[in-house]
Structure 1
Amino acid sequence: MSEPYPDPAAWYATLPSVFVSACMLLTDPEDRVLLVKPNYRPGWNFPGGIVEEGEAPHDGAMREVVEELGVSVKAGELLVVHWTPPAKDRPRGLINFMFDGGVLEDPARIRLQAEELDEVAFLPWDTAAPLLPAHIAPRLAAGRLARENQSPVYLPGDLPGAGG
């Protein structure tokens, strides 16, 4: 006689979990990348944030762009999936999904969310890279490569500077 199937709730409770975030790679007509400067942590970042419970990553990225920049941008192709292990105060791994937000033709439409952001800037790619925290920086080159090759990139968390 076989054992009864486990209770689904009990079984799911035993599985590991991760935090999920999503962001967008946006550029302007001069091919400069858009970064935002949060006021609640050091360094710059891509527009985006934590995906809410039950929310699809592409929907989370679009919601965050509206909240942070006041512009509605459709999430295009998936560019990067970036997994990072637990680190410091974050007890679980994090999976970030970067979507192509395309070219923002009219940057004057941006309305910065002052509650969370101090600045927004379109920057040359090589100027943007050193402004990103070490654990986020690999997404910049990966996002650019994915756009050029029209093929998503997977970034494992064991890359130099990718932890945390």
Structure 2
Amino acid sequence: MKPPPERHGPRWDAYLAHGNATQARKRVVADALLRDHDGRVLLVDPTYKSGWDLPGGMAETNEPPVDAVRRELAEELGLMITVGSLLCVDWVSPHGPWDDLVAFVFDAGTLPPSVCATLRPRDAELARCGFFPRDRALDLLTERQRRRTAQALAALDEGRPRYLQDGLPSW
């Protein structure tokens, strides 16, 4: 097997194109766990699917997950915040018309009351947003998102990230 070419130019581009054409590609989701000063969880109500969700969304091509969640928070809610530690990584099996994906949930901390009071959707992808007590927030989420969010909350409480498969610990 020949070594890969130098990391620039047409030979490098052809090398990458060959790899991309022959290896699996994964979709990546990056979400944020945000709270208010009372510990309530921020949820968003997307216009393009049913049910509430954590704020965040799909990563773009070659975009790191942490950058994706920052971008989504800025675009959809006007939030420019520092994203904290990783709470969980969830491998999600194929569902509906989609192949599998990898979902990341990051701790995005607690928003100050002044920000919470004025928080609103800034993008047509969201109908509304709101803070909910943990139990109520979990009730509003779809089953798949509920399992992942419950695990992210447990990781936040324990201070230890979790690896999940379909929202459940894999070991």
Class of the TM-score when normalised by the shorter of the 2 chains: 0.7 to 0.9
The TM-score with structure 1 as length reference comes to 0.87
Question: In structure 2, the residue corresponding to 1:129 is in which secondary structure?
Answer: helix
Query: Hey, what does 1:97 align to over in structure 2?
Result: 104
> Quick check: 18-27 or 131-140, which moved more?
131-140
Q: 1:12 & 1:127 partners in 2: Cα distance?
A: 42
Q: Is the partner of 2:149 in helix, strand or coil?
A: helix
Inter-CA distance 72–145: structure 2 relative to 1 (3 Å threshold):
same
Counterpart of 2:95 in structure 1 is: 87
1:25, 1:72 → 2: CA distance? 14
Which residue of the other structure, out of 100, 104, 116, is the alignment partner of 1:107?
116
| Shift of residue 95, structure 1, vs aligned partner | 0.6
Shift of 1:110: 1.6
Deviation at 1:8, TM superposition (A): 3.6
Equivalent residue number for residue 54 of structure 1? 62
Which position in structure 2 is the counterpart of 1:68? 76
Residue 123 of structure 1 pairs with residue 135 of structure 2: no
Aligned residue pairs total: 156
Residue 141 (structure 2) aligns with: 132
> Contact 1:70–1:109 at 8 Å: present in 2 too?
no
In structure 2, the residue corresponding to 1:137 is in which secondary structure? helix
Q: Could you tell me the percent identity over the aligned residues? A: 38
RMSD, matched Cα: 1.8
Q: Bigger shift: 105-114 or 21-30?
A: 105-114
**Separation in structure 1 between the aligned mates of residue 19 and residue 164 of structure 2, nearest angstrom:** 29
* Helix, strand or coil at the partner of 1:26: strand
Q: Name the residue aligned to 1:36.
A: 44
In 1: Cα distance, 2:156 partner to 2:67 partner: 20
Counterparts of 2:91 and 2:30, CA distance in 1: 12
> Within 2, Cα distance between the matches of 1:75 and 1:54?
19
Residues 98-125 of structure 1 deviation map (CA, whole Å, 9 limit, x = unaligned): 1100001130242312511111110011
Normalized per residue, the structure richer in helix is 2
Return structure 1 stretches of 4+ with deviation > 4 angstroms: 3-7
SS at match of 2:33: strand
TM-score of the two chains, using structure 2 as the length reference:
0.84
SS at match of 1:136: helix
Any stretches of 5+ residues in structure 2 without a counterpart? 5-13
Deviations 1:62-105 (A, max 9, x none): 11011111111111000010110111111x21111111000011
Q: Secondary structure at the match of 2:136?
A: helix
